[in-house]
Amino acid sequence: MAGLPHNKMAMDPALVRLGNMVQNRYKYFRWTKRTTGITFMYVAVIPAIIGYLGYQTDGLWDLRVKRRGDIISER
């Protein structure tokens, strides 16, 4: 039992094709209107929205942890 090879498995052809597609994706990529829009959204629009929300809510809430000796009420 100890000397038998246990790693013999039939590879699923769909998983092999998926792996090859992922490895070679850069060879087939094209800038189209759709990919340009998606890239612009992830690179510029979403970080701008998160930054705007961060600046608008900066200091709005006191998120400090209560420590020993602190009173429970915020006032």
Nearest to 64 by CA among 55, 56, 74, 75: 74
**Residue 67 domain-assigned?**
no
Name the residue range of residue 47's domain. Answer: 28-58
pTM (2 d.p.) = 0.57
Instruction: Report the alpha-carbon distance of residue 51 to residue 43 in Å, rounded.
Output: 12
Q: Domains in the chain: how many in total?
A: 1
Mean pLDDT of successive 10-residue stretches along the chain, which has 75 residues: 66 92 93 96 97 90 77 70
**Residue 70 domain-assigned?**
no
**Residue 3 domain-assigned?**
no
Report pLDDT for 68: 83
**Residue 18 domain-assigned?**
no
**Residue 44 domain-assigned?**
yes
